[in-house]
Copies of this chain bind each other. A is one copy, B any other.
Amino acid sequence: MSDSRFDKGLKLLNEIDGEAGQNVIDSLQDICPDLARYTIEFPFGDIYARTELDLKSREIATVAALTALGHCAPQLKVHLNAALNVGCSEQALKEVILQMAVYAGFPAALNGMFAFKEVLAERSA
Contacts and interface: CB of A to CB of B under 8 A. Distances in A.
Q: What is the oligomeric copy number?
A: 6
Q: How large is the interface on A (under 10, 10 to 19, 20 to 34, 35 or more residues)?
A: 35 or more
B38 A46 contact: yes
Given A101-B38, A102-B42, A31 B64 contact: no
A47 B48 CA distance: 20
Nearest to A72: B107
Contacts of A64: 60-62, 64-65, 68
Interface of A: 1-2, 5, 24, 27-28, 30-32, 34-35, 38-39, 42-43, 46-48, 50, 52-53, 57-58, 60-72, 74-75, 91-92, 94-111, 113-114, 116-117, 120
